[in-house]
A and B are shown apart, each in its own frame.
Chain A
Amino acid sequence: MQPAEVAPARTGGNTGTHSVVTGWGMGQEADVTIVRPTDVEELRASVQSIGHRRALPRGMGRSYGDAAQISGGLMIETTNLKRIELDRERGIVTAQSGVTIGELLHQVVSAGWIVPVVPGTQNVTVGGAIASDIHGKNHGSVGTFGAHVEAISLLRADGEVVELLPGATDGGFDATVGGMGLTGVVVDARIKLSPIRGAMLAVDTDRVRSLDDALAALAAHGGPHRVAWLDLLCAEPGRGVVTRAEHVDAPGEGASVVRSRATVPRAWPAGALRPEVVRAFNAFKYASSPRAERGHPVPFGRHMFPLDSLDAWPRLYGPSGFLQYQLVVPTGSEHVLETVIECLRRARVPCYLAVLKDFGPANGAPLSFPLAGWTLALDIPRAAPGLEPLLRGFDRAVAEAGGRVYLTKDARLRPEMVRAMYPRLGEWRAARERVDPERVWCSDLARRVGLL
């Protein structure tokens, strides 16, 4: 379906364009009205125009499932709110909600600072990074994005802008960090940066032949940015490539962001991405990776955001899209990872991309995803036969182990599973209810899994 969209000439709050949106993984469509305020006044006006409808802020729409859409409601898209103020001496940046991680890096890296937590794509906004309490490859040493936010100014449904501070007793800050956008619209956030001398990384690479080797390599001595790519389509699933990277402590010329070099056309044929093709690609990727390499210099952007060089890459999966399943299990529950990989192989469900990494301790936000242990992210074509029963089994195994599934990626969890995986949901609800007693903010995710 083609979104019936016209240029948002006036988004003064009470207008808006009708549109159809989906998540990044192209799932269930949502009929929505979108407004794109360009300053705080327009933002306030758009909140005042909500009326009896439900509403939700949206940034770049990179949530894979239905977290960033509200069927029948008003979407307040923040992508025109781009102000950045950098305190070069102290390394503190105040960024409006619609600033992307890439834009932020572009501004701060030349001044000798870096955003301490960046996800696997530069194309998420500051507002989205807070709402999902995103993590990066260095979670083990620096925690989530929310841990580096010093203050959030939040526009509530009643039109008030309030300043939320970590540790405040009302719980508003912790309900907003990881709160899936359901407390209000982040106007801007103050973020503490880390000093760097250049944007080059020194990367250690190890080829591994099994899951156990991958876990060991992720725990080995080396740089803080750690991740394992696993090839689950080969005859010995679990082989992969582990990298550990750290900033080179010297001035360097590396680019902190990547430029997209190509786009997948809208008319990409369904089924063109076949298991055989991916299997061959994986074999090539494995074979062309160094067996064991130390300190190889790679520009920050290229190492961190490999997928951003190909625009609209989810189209590769064809019109039915794909599903990303990201789980975390606590240290000591590595057997769940083994079970998941083995079950995928036995059920012949093709997993095209599998990424494994270590997590450090959880933070205080009740709905924040990471907890100390291992996280595994699986990209699977939605049309794969037998997928749902398989994933239900994974849900149970993960919940039993005390782990959870990432809501930002989810498109299919059931309410009872979410309650089991996020035991602090009640606490979050109570804090959220204080910020938005009229329940104006809502999302398709919130409806589906009963968050509110």
Chain B
Amino acid sequence: MSDALLVGGTSEIGLAIVRRLHAGRVWLLGRDGEGLASAAASLDGAAVEVGLLDADDIDSSRQAIARAFAASGGFDVVVIAVGVLGAQAGLDADPDQAIDVMRVNFLGAGSVLLECLRQLRQRGDGTLVLLSSVAAERPRASNPIYGAAKGGLDALAQGLSDAIASTGVRVLVVRPGFVKTRMTAGLEPAPFSTTADAVASATVAALGGRAGTIWVPGRLRWIFAVLRHLPRSVYRRLPL
């Protein structure tokens, strides 16, 4: 039985992963107290603790993570599912909302990532799962702000993963395509869309192996290997 921490404790994908881990004890950290309570209730079978954490408030979020690690004695798996979608319209989006997306998805999630890795390194064990996105590979005209923030976060995770390769801590970056969840409700699903459960199943399978980055569905890896190198004049015309 392992112990798991989910930061972004109401994330559907995050919860699906934690459920599949069959963790003995689960900590859920997030900003929505009520949402956390019902998320906790949905994880039957596990001993669940919840705590408030607002990724946008960097100091307090760092403290919340440190408290969770101290109180639990450490985690075997930490899942970071911090992020907001918003501001899809790019330049035409509400300017404040656009800044919010960048702040929460990069600065907020990035500082959560740093603090969790510091804590894991102290014990010299455990795996950190970062929920990234295919948008991190190459942002599209339809989601430049979200894509850029995820790109930054994804790069941070990759770099840190290499830096701590010999410390016993492992980082697994998960890049799902379009996932049909509450967050994307109302959006037109992109090609190769997937579900929270499929992402969870691929993630838990990868935890047993050695991969540093996985794509869900897996063939997106090869599709983006091509898309990444397309000339921009072609890429921007693609219906993505």
Which residues of A come within 8 Å of B, CB atoms? 20, 28-31, 52-54, 70-73, 414-415, 442, 444, 447-448, 450
Contacts and interface: CB of A to CB of B under 8 A. Distances in A.
Contacts of A448: 210
Contacts of A450: 208
Contacts, number: 46
A71 B123 CA distance: 10
A31 B123 contact: no
Contacts of A30: 166, 168
B146 to A, nearest CB: 34
Interface residues of B, number: 14
Interface string B72-104: 011000000000000000000000000000000
A31 B167 contact: yes
A53 B210 contact: no
A54 B125 contact: yes
Interface string B161-180: 00001111100000000000
Given A52-B123, A53-B125, A73 B166 contact: no
B209 A72 contact: no
B124 interface: yes
Contacts of A444: 168
Contacts of B166: 20, 28-31, 71-72
B121 interface: yes
A52 B125 CA distance: 9
Nearest to A74: B124
Given A73-B124, A414-B209, 8 more contacts: A30-B168, A31-B167, A52-B74, A54-B124, A72-B167, A72-B168, A72-B169, A448-B210
B123 A72 contact: yes
Contact of A415 (B74, B125, B165, B208): B208
Interface in B118-154: 121, 123-125
A415 B208 CA distance: 8
5 contacts: A30-B166, A31-B124, A73-B124, A73-B168, A442-B125
A443 to B, nearest CB: 10
Nearest to A33: B124
A20 B166 CA distance: 9
B208 A53 contact: no
Contact of A72 (B73, B124, B208): B124
Contacts of B74: 52
A73 B169 CA distance: 10
A25 to B, nearest CB: 16
Interface of B: 73-74, 121, 123-125, 165-169, 208-210
Most A CB within 10 A of own CB, among B74, B121, B165, B166: B166
A228 B125 CA distance: 42
Nearest to B126: A72
B44 to A, nearest CB: 25
Nearest to A414: B209
A73 B210 contact: no
A30 B124 CA distance: 11
A20 B125 CA distance: 16
B125 A72 contact: yes
A252 B169 CA distance: 54
Contacts of B209: 414-415
Contacts of B167: 31, 71-72
Contacts of B169: 72
A52 B73 contact: yes
Contacts of A72: 121, 123-125, 166-169
Contacts of B73: 52
Nearest to A415: B208
Given A52-B74, A442-B125, A70 B168 contact: yes
A369 B49 CA distance: 44
A55 B107 CA distance: 35
Given A52-B73, A52-B74, A71 B208 contact: no
A345 B219 CA distance: 34
B39 to A, nearest CB: 27
A54 B208 contact: no
Contacts of A73: 124-125, 168
B118 to A, nearest CB: 12
Instruction: Pick from B73, B74, B123 the residue with the most CB of A within 10 Å.
Output: B123
Nearest to A444: B168
A20 to B, nearest CB: 7
A452 to B, nearest CB: 11
A442 B165 CA distance: 16
Contacts of B123: 52-54, 72
A389 to B, nearest CB: 16
B93 to A, nearest CB: 43
A78 to B, nearest CB: 20
A70 B168 CA distance: 7
A31 B210 CA distance: 19
List the 9 closest pairs (A to B, CB-CB), nearest first. Answer: A72-B124, A72-B168, A71-B168, A72-B167, A31-B166, A29-B166, A52-B123, A73-B124, A31-B167
Contacts of A28: 165-166
Nearest to A448: B210
A415 B207 CA distance: 11
A306 B123 CA distance: 41
B212 to A, nearest CB: 13
Nearest to A1: B166
Contacts of A20: 166
B57 to A, nearest CB: 28
Given A28-B166, A29-B166, A30-B166, A71 B210 contact: no
